[in-house]
Amino acid sequence: MSDKEQFPIPETLEEKIAFIEAILFVSKEPVESERIMSYLNCHSIREFEDLITHVEDEFSSDGRGLILKRSGGGFQLVTKPSMHQFLKDFFTIRASSRLSVPSLETLSIIAYRQPVTIAEISDLRGVNSTGPVKNLLQKKLIRITGRKKVPGLPALYSTTKEFLLYFGLNDLSELPSLEELTEMFEDKEQPSLFKNL
Say whether both 164 and 86 belong to one domain: no
Mean pLDDT to the nearest integer, 5-9: 67
Q: Classify residue 69: in a domain, yes or no.
A: yes
Say whether both 78 and 144 belong to one domain: no
- On the question of pLDDT at 191 being above 80, the answer is no
Say whether both 25 and 108 belong to one domain: no
Q: What is the pTM of this model?
A: 0.53
Say whether both 14 and 82 belong to one domain: yes
> What amino acid is encoded at 82 in this protein?
S
Please write the tens of the pLDDT for every residue from 149-185.
999 899 999 999 989 888 888 888 888 887 776 776 6
Mean pLDDT to the nearest integer, 60-68: 84
The domain containing residue 38 runs over which residues? 3-90
* Beta carbons of 15 and 51 less than 8 angstroms apart: no
The span from the CA of 52 to the CA of 119, in Å, is: 44
Q: Classify residue 111: in a domain, yes or no.
A: yes
Q: Classify residue 173: in a domain, yes or no.
A: yes
For residues 22 and 2, the model is more confident at 22
Say whether both 74 and 15 belong to one domain: yes
* Beta carbons of 21 and 55 less than 8 angstroms apart: yes
Q: Classify residue 130: in a domain, yes or no.
A: yes
Say whether both 68 and 124 belong to one domain: no
Domains of the chain: total: 2
In the listed set 73, 90, 107, which residue is the last one of a domain according to the structure? Answer: 90
The CATH number assigned to the domain holding 115 equals 1.10.10.10
Helix 33-40 vs helix 45-59: angle between axes, to the nearest 10 degrees?
Answer: 110
